[in-house]
Structure 1
Amino acid sequence: MTKLPILLILFLMVFTANAQQELPKFPRVTIEDLKSTIYQKDSTAEAYVMTNYGNGWVSQNSAGGYDITYQYFVRIKVLKKKAFKRATQSIYLYTDNNRQNAETVTEVKGRTYNFINEAMEIDELEKKDIFEAQYSKTFDKVSFTLPKVKEGSIIEYSYIIRSPFLIKPKDWDFQLDIPCERSEYVFGSPTNFAYRMLMQYCHGKLSEDKCDVFNDFRTCRWLMSDIPAFKKEKYVADIDDYTRKLHFELAEYFVRGMSAPKKLSMEWSDFDRLLLTDEDLGGRIGKISAFEVPAQNLKQQITDSLELAKEVYKYIQSNFTWDNKKELFATHSLKEVFNQKVGSSAELNLLLISLLKQVGIAAHPVVISTRENGRIWKDYPMISRFNYTLVHLNIKGQNILLDVTDKNLQWGLLPEYCMVGEGRLLVHRKSTWVPIRTPEKSGKKINMSFTFSKKAPELESQITYSGTGYQAINYRKELKTLGKEKLSEKFRKAFPSVENSKVEFDGFSDTETNLLPMILITGTHTEGYNLVNGKVYLRTIPFEGTTEHPFPNVDRQFPVDLIYPREEVITCSYTIPEGYTIAELPKGIRVVLPEDGGRFFFSVTQNQATNEVYITSQILLKKSIYHADEYEAIRALYNHIVVKHNEMIVLQKQSK
Structure 2
Amino acid sequence: MQKITLLLLLLLNTSIYAQTNFNSETLKVTRADLELNVYEKDSTANALVLYEYGNSYIDNNDFSLVTEEKRKIKILNREGFNKANVTIYLQKSDDRKEKVKNIIATTYNLVDGKVTSTKLSDAHIFEEEYNDDFTLVKFTLPNIKEGSVINYSYTLQSPFKFNYQGWSFQSDIPKLYSEYNTSIPAIYEYNIKLVGGQKLFKNDQKIKRNCLYGGNGSHADCTISSYAMKDIPAFIEEDYMTSKYNYLARIEYELKVFKGFDGRINNYTKTWKTTDREFRTDKDIGKQLSKSFNLEDFVSHSVITEKDAYKKADAIYKHVQENYTWNGDYKIFSDVSVRDLIKNKSGNVSSINILLHNLLKEANIDVNPVLISTRDNGFPTKIYPVISDFNYLIVQATINDKTYLLDATDKYLSFGEIPFRCLNNYGRLMDFKNGSEWIDLKPNKLSTIQFRAELNMDKNDNITGIVNSKQTGYHALANRKRYHQNSDAYVTNLEDRYPNIEISNHKVTNEEKTNPDFLETYNIEYNWDETGDNIYLNPYFTAFFKENPFKLQERTYPIDFGYKGAYYYILKLNFSDAYTVLEKPENASFALPNNKGTVHFSNILSGNAINIMLKISFQDAVYPPEYYPYLKAFMSKIVDIQTNSLILLKKK
Instruction: Return the TM-score normalized by structure 1.
Output: 0.84
Q: What SS does the corresponding residue of 1:313 show, helix, strand or coil?
A: helix
Shift in Å, 1:299: 6.5
Q: Does the C-alpha gap of structure 1 residues 116 and 452 become closer, same or farther in structure 2, counting only changes over 3 Å?
A: farther
1:41 maps to a residue whose letter is K
Alpha-carbon spacing, 1:132–1:476, altered in 2? closer, same or farther (3 Å): farther
CA spacing shift, 1:602–1:123, aligned 2, 3 Å: same
Deviation at residue 394 of structure 1 after TM alignment: 1.7
- Seen in structure 2, the aligned counterparts of structure 1 residues 443 and 32 have a Cα distance that, compared at 3 Å, is same
In the TM superposition, residue 563 of structure 1 has moved relative to its aligned partner by: 0.8
Q: 2:235 aligns with which of 215, 218, 230?
A: 230
Residue 552 of structure 2 is aligned to residue 550 of structure 1: no
Which amino acid in the other structure matches residue 196 of structure 1?
Answer: N
Tell me the residue number matched to 1:365: 369
1:509-558 CA-to-partner distances (Å, cap 9, x unmatched) read 36673563538585664xx4474x97655445354254543344575443
Deviation, structure 1 residue 465: 5.5
Give the aligned residue type for 1:51.
Y
Instruction: Give the structure 2 partner of residue 8 of structure 1.
Output: none
- 1:199 maps to which of 194, 199, 202: 194
| 1:570 counterpart = 2:569 | yes
Give CA deviations for 1:395-432 in whole Å, capped at 9, x if unaligned: 21112211111111010000111111111111134322
1:576-600 deviation per Cα after TM superposition (whole angstroms, max 9, x unaligned): 5775432222222334556664422
Q: Equivalent residue of 1:273, what SS?
A: helix
The answer (yes or no) to whether the contact 1:168–1:248 under 8 Å persists in 2 is: yes
Does structure 1 conserve the Cα–Cα contact (< 8 Å) formed by 2:413 and 2:514?
Answer: no
CA distance in structure 1 between the aligned counterparts of 2:197 and 2:317, rounded to whole angstroms: 42
CA contact (8 A) 1:602 1:616 kept: yes
| Contact 2:108/2:148, CA 8 A, preserved across alignment | yes
Q: Is 1:90 matched up with 2:87?
A: yes
Show the 5 A alignment for 1:436-451.
Answer: 436-446=441-451
CA 1:501 to 1:109, structure 2 compared with 1: closer, same or farther past 3 Å? farther
Letter matched to residue 429 of structure 2: L
- The alpha-carbon deviation at position 253 of structure 1 amounts to 1.1
When the two chains are superposed, the root-mean-square deviation of aligned CA atoms in Å is 3.3
Contact 1:113 1:123 in 2 (8 A): yes
Q: 1:128 to 1:588 in 2, by over 3 A?
A: same
Letter in 2 for 1:322: W
Alignment of 1:217-366 (within 5 A): 217-258=222-263, 261-291=265-295, 293-294=297-298, 297=301, 300-366=304-370
Residue identity (%): 28
| More divergent stretch after superposition (565-574 vs 390-399) | 565-574
Count of residues in correspondence between the two structures: 618
More displaced, 305-314 or 180-189? Answer: 305-314
Residues 70 and 160 in structure 1, CA contact (< 8 A), matched pair in contact too: yes
Classify 1:254/1:300 alpha carbon distance in 2 versus 1 (closer, same or farther; 3 Å): closer
- Does residue 1:185 correspond to 2:185, yes or no? no
CA contact (8 A) 1:130 1:144 kept: yes
Q: Does 1:468 align with 2:433?
A: no
Structure 1 portions without partners, runs of 5+: 1-23
- Taking the aligned partners of 1:508 and 1:101, their CA distance within structure 2 comes to 58
Match of 2:508 in 1: 506
Separation in 2, partners of 1:519, 1:163: 62
Q: Distance in 1 between matches of 2:27 and 2:126?
A: 29
Per the TM alignment, residue 634 of structure 1 is displaced from its structure 2 partner at its CA by: 4.4
Is the CA contact (8 Å cut-off) linking 1:476 and 1:508 kept in structure 2? Answer: no
Deviates more, 1:31-40 or 1:276-285: 276-285
Deviates more, 1:502-511 or 1:277-286: 502-511
Q: Distance in 2 between matches of 1:163 and 1:453?
A: 78
Residue 49 of structure 2 aligns with which residue? 49
Q: Quick one: which amino acid aligns to residue 386 of structure 1?
A: F
2:435 corresponds, among 430, 436, 459, to 430
For residues 629 and 251 of structure 1, what CA distance do their matches in structure 2 show? 35
C-alpha distance in structure 1 between counterparts of 2:459 and 2:72, whole Å: 64
Partner of 2:518: 516
What is the 5 A alignment of 1:26-37? 26-37=26-37
Match of 2:582 in 1: 583
CA–CA separation in structure 2 for the residues paired with 1:89 and 1:353: 46
Against the structure 1 CA distance between its residues 185 and 511, is the aligned structure 2 distance closer, same or farther, given a 3 Å change threshold?
closer
Aligned-residue offset at 1:202: 0.5
Return the alpha-carbon distance in structure 1 between the equivalents of residues 145 and 510 of structure 2.
Answer: 53
C-alpha distance in structure 2 between counterparts of 1:653 and 1:292, whole Å: 71
Change in CA separation of 1:568 and 1:336 when aligned onto 2, cut-off 3 Å: same
> What TM-score, normalized to structure 2?
0.85
Deviates more, 1:381-390 or 1:152-161: 152-161
Cα distance change, pair 86–465 in 1 and its aligned pair in 2 (3 A):
farther
5+ residue gaps, structure 2: 1-23, 211-220
Alpha-carbon distance in structure 1 between the residues aligned to 2:227 and 2:473: 48
* d(CA) in 2 for partners of 1:545, 1:289: 47
Paired with 1:128 and 1:573, the residues of 2 have a C-alpha distance of: 72
**Corresponding residue SS for 1:95:** strand
Amino acid in structure 2 at the alignment position of 1:438? P
Give the 3 Å change call, closer, same or farther, for CA 79–452 of structure 1 in structure 2: farther
Q: SS where residue 644 of structure 1 aligns? A: helix
The Cα of 1:646 is off from its aligned counterpart by: 4.0
Distance 1:304 1:499, change over 3 A: closer
SS of 1:251's equivalent in the other structure is: strand
